[in-house]
Chains A and B, each alone.
Chain A
C-alpha cells in the first residue's frame, strides 16, 4: 500500500478552553538520555538502536502502529522492562541492575497505564497515600493532605473514600494520574492513557494531562490522540519496527511528514 499524497487534517483536541502555554518552557537541562539502546524478547529484536534525549519541560508524544515498540520504550525508562545493551540515564542516574538506582528512578518518574492499575483493595485516598508513606516516608497526615490536593486538581476530591471499582473509567484514570503525582515526580510517562476509555471520558483525562503540561511537567506520552499531540507536544516521535523513524515538532510532523511510513501511518490514523 502506497502512502497518499495528502495527509488529512489533524482533528481539534476535544477540550473547550484555550491552552495556556506560558509555563511550557523547554530548558537546557537533560532529563532523560538514551544512547544506542537495544532490547530483545528472546530472539525478537523489539527496540533497535534507540537514541533520544529529553530535556526538562519537554512534552513528547510517541506514536506508531501497534507492535512498533513504543510502549516498550517508555517502560524501559522506569525499568519495567530491562534493556540489553546501550545506556539509559534518568535525572543523572543510570539504569543498571542495581536495585537502589532503579528504586530511585522509579520514585522520580510517574507512570500512568492504559488499564489504570489502581489497587482495588484500597480506597482512592489510600491508593494515593500508599507510596508516599511507604517509599518517601511522608507522615500519614501530610500524605493525605497532598493526596487531597492532587485529587482536587484532577477534580474528584469527593470520591476519596470510595473504592476504584465504584468509579468510571475516566475517573479511575484521573485517580491514577493523581496517584503518580503524589510522589512528586519530575517526569511523567503515559502509556496509552486514553485507549481503554469511552470518548466522553477521554476528554476529561486529556484535560488533566493538558493541565499538567501547562504547569511545565516533563511528559512522554504514548498516545493516538493526534489532536493532543498537535496542541500540547513540542515534539512528536514516530516509531515503527522498534526504531525511531521520524521526529519533528508537531506542526511540521503533521503537515509535512518526510518518511513514507509516517505518511502511511498518518493517513490511516487521521483518515477516518
Chain B
C-alpha cells in the first residue's frame, strides 16, 4: 500500500539524516535549527501512522527545511527527496475519495426510506425522504485539492515536483548571491572590482554600466540636447495608441492616431515640416480618389486610389515639399539616421513595421483569396518569395543592393529601407496567419453579408475581418513579437541597436569585459515589451469573446 510505503520512505529519510549528522558528514553548524528537520520528519511519519492528514504536511515541511539548512549537498538532497516523495504518497492516499459508507448505500432498493411500489422489490423504488447536501471532504476542496491534483498526484508528479523544486532552488542559489552583490554606482568595471575587493566578497553584478551608459542604450548617438524629441514622441505614442487598443477612449482621438506617424517622423528626424506633410497628403489624395471613384466598382476604385497616391509620392511630393519649404521655411533641427541608436532604433523600426505590416498582410491575404488571377498570382508569389528568404538577406539587400537599383544620387534613408524590408517580411507571415482566420469563417457569413447588399469592402470591414482577425489574434501577436525581436538583426548591417551598442560600450576601457549585465538589461527591456504585447492580446481575446456564453 502506497501510504505505508510513503511512511517508510519518510522514516528512512529522516533517520538517515540523523545518522549523517551524528557521523559528522553533514555539518550542523550551518544553522542550529537544521536539527529540527530530521526530528520533524520522524514526527511527521509517526503522525501519518495515526492516519491524520497533518503527517504529510510535517514531512513535506521537514524536507524543505532540510534543503534550506543543509543546502544542496548530495548527502542532504537524497534524504530530503525521500521525505518529500514519502509526503507526496501519503498525501495522495489521504486525498483519495473514501468509498461510500454503509449509511449512504440506502440509496439502493430496500433501505428503510425506500418502499416498493409494485411488489417487484429491487426494481422499482421511490425515495421517501430527500437527503440534505453534505459538505465535501476536506481533501476535495481548496488548497489541499489543488496541491494533490497539481503537485502530488500519483507517483510521477511528486517526483517531478521535488525535482523541479530542487532545480529552481539550485538556480536561485547560484544567481542570488551574484545579484546580492550588485553595485549600482560605479563609473567603470575597475571601480566595481575595487568595491568588491574592499568588502572582501567575490565578484557580483556591476550595474554601474547601465547607470553610466543608459542614455546611450536608449538613444544611441542622438544629440543629447534633443532627447526631449524622442521622449515627447514616446509619450504621444501612448496617446495615439489608446483609442486603437482600448474601447473606453473617445473615438475622436483616432484622428490624432492617424496623424501621429507624420508627427513622430517630424519629431524624430526633424527637418522641414513639409516632408511629412507632403507624405500625408498622398494618403489624403488616395482617400479622396477612393471616395470619388466609388461608382466605378471596387476594382477600379481601389486601383485608382492606389495609383493616385503613388503618382503623388513619386512625381509631385518631392517638388511640393521643396517649393513649400522655399515659400514657408518651417522646421526644426534635422537629425541624421546614423545618429539613431539603442532602443530608439528598435522601437522606431519595430513599431513602424508592426503598424504597416498588419494592413499590408490583410491585403495580401485577401489578394491570395481573390478570384482575379493576376492579383492572386502576385500575392502568392510575393508571400512565398518573402517567406522563403531569411530576413538577414533582405536586410543586406536593403543596406547594399538597393543602391544599385535606385537611380544614382538618390539618398534613401537606411532606417527607412530597413523598415520597408522588415515590414514586407512580417506582412508575408501575417498574410498567412490572416488567411487561416479567413478559412475558419463559414461560407454563410459571406452569403449573409452579400444577401444584405453589402459590397466587397464593407463586407470585409464589417463582417469578415472582425471575425477573421479575432480568430487570428494569437498568430498575429506571435508574428509581431517575432518581428520586434528580429529588429536586433539590424546590428549586422551596421545600425547601432542595443545589441550593437554593447560592442561599442565594451570597446571603451572603462567597461572592457562586461557582458552579463548589459545583456540581462537589454533582455529584460525586450521581455517587458513583448510580455506586454502578449498580455494585451489575451485581454483582447477575452474582450472579443462573444460566441459561447
* Least CB distance, A119 to chain B, in whole angstroms: 6
Nearest opposing residue in chain A for B455, CB measure: A103
A117-B448 in contact (CB<8A): yes
Q: Which residues of A, 119-133, contact B by the 8 Å Cβ criterion?
A: 119-121, 130-131
Q: Which residues of B, 406-458, contact A by the 8 Å Cβ criterion?
A: 442, 444-445, 447-448, 450-455, 458
* Least CB distance, A82 to chain B, in whole angstroms: 12
* Least CB distance, A125 to chain B, in whole angstroms: 13
Chain B residues with CB under 8 Å of A166's CB are 549
A80-B447, A117-B445, A117-B447 in contact; A179/B546 too (CB < 8 A)? no
B450-A106 in contact (CB<8A): yes
Alpha-carbon separation in the docked complex, A199 to B298 (Å): 44
Alpha-carbon separation in the docked complex, A100 to B549 (Å): 40
Chain A residues with CB under 8 Å of B458's CB are 134-135
Alpha-carbon separation in the docked complex, A119 to B298 (Å): 23
Alpha-carbon separation in the docked complex, A121 to B469 (Å): 11
Chain B residues with CB under 8 Å of A103's CB are 453, 455
A221 at the interface (CB under 8 A from B): no
Interface pairs (6), CB distance under 8 Å: A106-B450, A107-B452, A109-B451, A121-B466, A130-B463, A135-B452
A121-B453 in contact (CB<8A): no
B547 at the interface (CB under 8 A from A): yes
Instruction: Point out the residue from A111, A117, A134 that lies within 8 Å of B454, measured CB to CB.
Output: A134
* Least CB distance, B447 to chain A, in whole angstroms: 5
Chain A residues with CB under 8 Å of B444's CB are 113, 115-117
B548 at the interface (CB under 8 A from A): yes
* Least CB distance, B382 to chain A, in whole angstroms: 27
Instruction: Point out the residue from A99, A100, A106, A121 that lies within 8 Å of B467, measured CB to CB.
Output: A121
Alpha-carbon separation in the docked complex, A107 to B458 (Å): 14
Interface size class, chain A: 20 to 34
Residues in chain A within 8 A of chain B (CB atoms): 78-80, 99-100, 103, 106-107, 109-111, 113, 115-121, 130-131, 134-135, 163, 165-166, 179-180, 183
Q: How many A-B residue pairs have CB under 8 A?
A: 74
Residues in chain B within 8 A of chain A (CB atoms): 297-298, 442, 444-445, 447-448, 450-455, 458, 462-463, 466-467, 470, 544, 546-549
* Least CB distance, A75 to chain B, in whole angstroms: 8
New A-B pairs, 12, CB < 8 Å, besides A106-B452, A120-B547: A79-B450, A80-B447, A106-B451, A107-B452, A110-B451, A113-B447, A117-B444, A119-B445, A121-B544, A165-B546, A166-B549, A183-B453
Nearest opposing residue in chain A for B466, CB measure: A121
Instruction: Point out the residue from B452, B453, B454, B546 that lies within 8 Å of A120, measured CB to CB.
Output: B546
A121-B297 in contact (CB<8A): no
B452-A165 in contact (CB<8A): no
B454-A131 in contact (CB<8A): yes
Nearest opposing residue in chain A for B450, CB measure: A80
Alpha-carbon separation in the docked complex, A165 to B544 (Å): 13
Instruction: Point out the residue from A80, A109, A110, A119 that lies within 8 Å of B463, measured CB to CB.
Output: A119
Chain B residues with CB under 8 Å of A116's CB are 444
A119-B455 in contact (CB<8A): no
Nearest opposing residue in chain A for B458, CB measure: A134
| Closest CB pairs A-B (n = 7) | A107-B453, A117-B448, A117-B444, A131-B452, A111-B451, A106-B453, A163-B546
Alpha-carbon separation in the docked complex, A239 to B296 (Å): 39
Alpha-carbon separation in the docked complex, A121 to B465 (Å): 11
Instruction: Point out the residue from A78, A115, A131, A165 that lies within 8 Å of B548, measured CB to CB.
Output: A165
* Least CB distance, B504 to chain A, in whole angstroms: 50
* Least CB distance, B546 to chain A, in whole angstroms: 4
Nearest opposing residue in chain B for A99, CB measure: B297
Chain A residues with CB under 8 Å of B450's CB are 78-80, 106
Alpha-carbon separation in the docked complex, A116 to B454 (Å): 17
